[in-house]
Structure 1
Amino acid sequence: MKNKLVLLLLFVLPIGIYLLFSTATHNSLFLPTISKANREIPSHWIGLHAEKIAMKDKITVLGFVGNNVIENRGNFFNLNQKIYNKYKGFKDFQMVMVTPIGNEAKAQQIIDELAPITGEMTGWKFVFAAPQEIQSFYDSYQLAGKLDANFGTPAVIIVDKELNHRGRKGKNKKGVEEYKESYNTISAADLHNEMTDDVKIILREYRLALKKNKNERKDTFRDNIKQNIERNK
């Protein structure tokens, strides 16, 4: 019985992943790059459990929460339901919320409120820093939007494994020029209709690259065996 269940999972899981990725309606197989080689999270910034948090080698949804953590809990709920719940199964995907020091208890409250409806919360991360450092870090991305007086914004951005800021740039499927550097967490529609699509694309992009690398390694291994056989004839 167990063997049949394992075989069923091996058959169904790839189909499920394919269907997930194939539903993306964006006009490109690759998500455009807005800016390259951006700043990493400073190593001295501390996570909710005093852990180090980094974006390198992760696909990151990066947000700037500000001091109104509890007041903006609806934004977290939207982001959690529309984005995190759909992609939490990917080990290289994470949500990183930059927060001013002093809001640790509020951040933990948000985690505690989301956990019962989400389950796995390891991909949800809060990182804490001084307000001036947060402003400098935000400014380094040269975004059109600005942080408010509480050092926060409802907008989040997508950062890839190489610290490139990704978004929409160029013509869409209708041939209309578009530019989208961030996604509004206040708007469930913005997250559902656009960000969900874009996260699918970037995850698919890395999965295709990984598959290609595996095939290339197999080809190299096969060629090496063939060469050794020929030399030993």
Structure 2
Amino acid sequence: MKISKKRVVLFLLFIFPLICFLLLSTGTNNFTKLPIVTNNVIDISTIDSTKTFKGHISIVCFLGNDLKANKGGFFNLNEKIYKKFIEYKKFQIIAIYPKGKEVEAQELKKEIGAFTDMVKWNFIEGTQEEITSLYTSFNSPDSLTNLYSNNVFLVDKNGNLRGREKDEDTINGKLFGYNVKSVAELNAKLKDDVKVLYYEYYAAFKDKNKNKADR
């Protein structure tokens, strides 16, 4: 039977996507999970007892001693990531600054908040020892300079650092953090990875409910 051009178009537009959806939805966790690159980082509650990584998807950034010089990257983070996920449940940004920099931190918060609801931005002060210990627990190969890092870090609900193990732009393929000075990296990597992590939790929740229903 001769297949008309119209039927081919209909197949590509409607039937093929439906088949793909059904294959994905009937499988159990048949997608690539976001790798854990470091297990059990130090919890933020050791610096601020009112905050925790547990039960949240957290993006952690280290503001450093010169907040004015470094603030451009955090505006990128706000525009490209925070505003995309502000409505997502249990999403938060942890912005850590050194003690003695409260005024600069509040100025940065005010500037970012001029056109943003800051409800999920958490500015936390810490001593040099506390900040260094937290950063060290991430096991990142990049150093913390003047208590500042170009990179921000993605911590899951269990307090594990997530990243990539086959990143084409790193020497050994292992990506621990995402460069806030690169809009392209925030768009192409961090945004996608946060979505993957949320879908991972959604799929796990769906499977859990399915298993309960099957009993």
The two structures share one fold, judged by TM-score above 0.5: yes
User: Is 2:159 the partner of 1:163?
Assistant: yes
Aligned residue among 96, 113, 118 for 2:111: 113
The whole-number CA distance in structure 2 between the counterparts of 1:121 and 1:211 is 31
Conservation of the 8 A alpha-carbon contact between 2:96 and 2:126: yes
**Deviation of 1:130 (Å):** 0.7
1:171 deviates by: 7.3
Name the SS of the counterpart of 1:146 in structure 2.
coil
Match of 2:11 in 1: none
Q: 1:38 aligns with which of 23, 37, 41?
A: 41
Q: Of the candidates 120, 144, 154, which is equivalent to residue 150 of structure 2?
A: 154
Give yes or no for the alignment of 1:193 onto 2:180. no
- What's the CA shift for 1:156? 0.8
Structure 2, unaligned runs of 5 or more: 1-20, 22-30
Pairwise CA RMSD: 2.2
Give 5+ residue unaligned stretches, structure 1. Answer: 1-17, 19-27, 221-233
Shift of 1:54: 1.0
Q: 1:96–1:124: 8 Å Cα contact kept in structure 2?
A: yes
Question: Aligned-pair distance for 1:61?
Answer: 0.6
Deviations 1:110-165 (A, max 9, x none): 222222322x21111111111122112211222100111x2111111111011111
Equivalents in 1 of 2:126, 2:51: separation in Å?
A: 12
Query: Counterpart of 2:6?
Result: none
How far is 1:42 from its partner? 3.9
Runs of 4+ in 1 over 6 A off after TM superposition: none
Q: Give 1:190 deviation, angstroms.
A: 1.1
- Contact kept, 8 Å, 2:41 with 2:134, in 1: the verdict is no
SS, match of residue 90 in structure 1: coil
Instruction: Indicate the percent of aligned positions where both proteins have the same amino acid.
Output: 33
**Number of positions where the alignment pairs a residue of Structure 1 with one of Structure 2:** 184
In the alignment, the residues of structure 1 paired with residue 214 and residue 203 of structure 2 have an alpha-carbon distance, to the nearest angstrom, of 16
The correspondence for 1:205, drawn from 187, 200, 209, is 200
TM-score (norm 2): 0.78
Give the conservation status (yes or no) of the 8 Å contact 1:53–1:127: no
TM-score normalised by the chain length of structure 1: 0.72
